[in-house]
């Protein structure tokens, strides 16, 4: 199973927070740390579970705008900027964001939810099965295995990658013609060179021989 992008982000953020965020302060807070704490306090007042990622991002941006306006001189001084422009504002915002990752569980929750909604889990594709007799095996571009069912209908299945039972077809695959099998397959869209286009095909995921 693939690891989804938001799962990786969640793990990274939690590791960073647990390793660094719980350390006690031993020196006065910097301007960006103070700004991060102010933003975090505002985020803590909101039920994040009732907000969409877009609503939470708007909330976060509004908090940043306010903290910039109230602490501009101190933030500029810490970062070494003489004036506030687009580039200096971006760098200050990034630094506050880094501080939030270390200091604010609510910000981590927002980041995780935003990443999750931007990268939803892929829908699971249900596999299908076909029972019948192997009637033909050819290899024009990909190996094609044709199966004829009890009603005489013939279906073609494609061998694109390893599948359970593929060992039986690696050498002398035509020796399996006439044998009864159960094919488990997925419908996918694939580029077929001989047809010069994308077509829905049945990809083999397993073949079991039936006695």
Q: Are 92 and 19 part of one and the same domain?
A: yes
Q: Is it the case that residue 26 has pLDDT exceeding 70?
A: no
Domain co-membership, 174 together with 149: yes
Q: Are strands 197-209 and 128-138 parallel, antiparallel or unpaired?
A: unpaired
Q: Quick one: 155 and 106 in the same domain? A: no
Residues 27 and 104 reside in one and the same domain = yes
Residues 18 and 107 in one domain: yes
Q: What is the band of 22 on the pLDDT scale with cuts at 50, 70, 90? A: very low
39 CB burial (10 A radius; 0-12, 13-18, 19+): buried
- For residue 87, the surrounding DSSP H or E stretch is helix 86-103
The predicted-structure confidence for 34-89, as pLDDT tens digits, reads as follows 999 999 998 888 887 787 777 877 888 888 889 888 988 999 899 898 877 888 88
Count the alpha carbons within 13 Å of 62 in the hemisphere toward its beta carbon. 8
0.85 surpassed by pTM: no
Boundary residue ending a domain (118, 139, 167): 118
pLDDT at position 21 is: 47
* Whether residue 102 is found in the same domain as residue 30: yes
Which class for 31: exposed (0-12), middle (13-18), buried (19 or more C-beta within 10 A)?
buried
| Domain range for 82 | 5-118
Residues 87, 133 within the same domain: no
> What is the structure's pLDDT at 23?
46
């Amino acid at each position: 199973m693939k690891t989804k992008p938001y799962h990786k982000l969640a793990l990274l953020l939690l590791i960073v927070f647990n390793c660094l965020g719980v350390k006690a302060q031993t020196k006065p807070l910097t301007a960006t740390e103070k700004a991060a704490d102010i933003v975090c306090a505002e985020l803590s007042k909101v039920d994040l579970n009732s907000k969409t990622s877009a609503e939470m991002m708007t909330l976060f941006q509004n908090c940043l705008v306010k903290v910039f306006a109230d602490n501009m001189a101190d933030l500029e001084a810490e970062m070494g900027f003489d004036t506030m422009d687009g580039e200096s504002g971006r760098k200050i915002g990034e630094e506050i964001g880094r501080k939030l990752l270390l200091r604010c569980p609510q910000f981590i929750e927002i980041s995780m939810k935003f990443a999750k909604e931007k990268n939803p889990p892929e829908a699971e594709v249900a596999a299908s099965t076909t029972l019948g007799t192997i009637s033909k095996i050819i290899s024009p571009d990909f190996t094609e295995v044709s199966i004829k069912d009890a009603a005489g209908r013939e279906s073609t299945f494609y061998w694109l990658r390893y599948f359970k039972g593929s060992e039986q077809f690696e050498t002398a695959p035509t020796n399996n013609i006439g044998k009864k099998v159960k094919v488990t397959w997925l419908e996918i869209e694939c580029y077929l060179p001989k047809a010069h286009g994308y077509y829905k095909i049945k990809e083999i995921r397993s073949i079991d021989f039936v006695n």
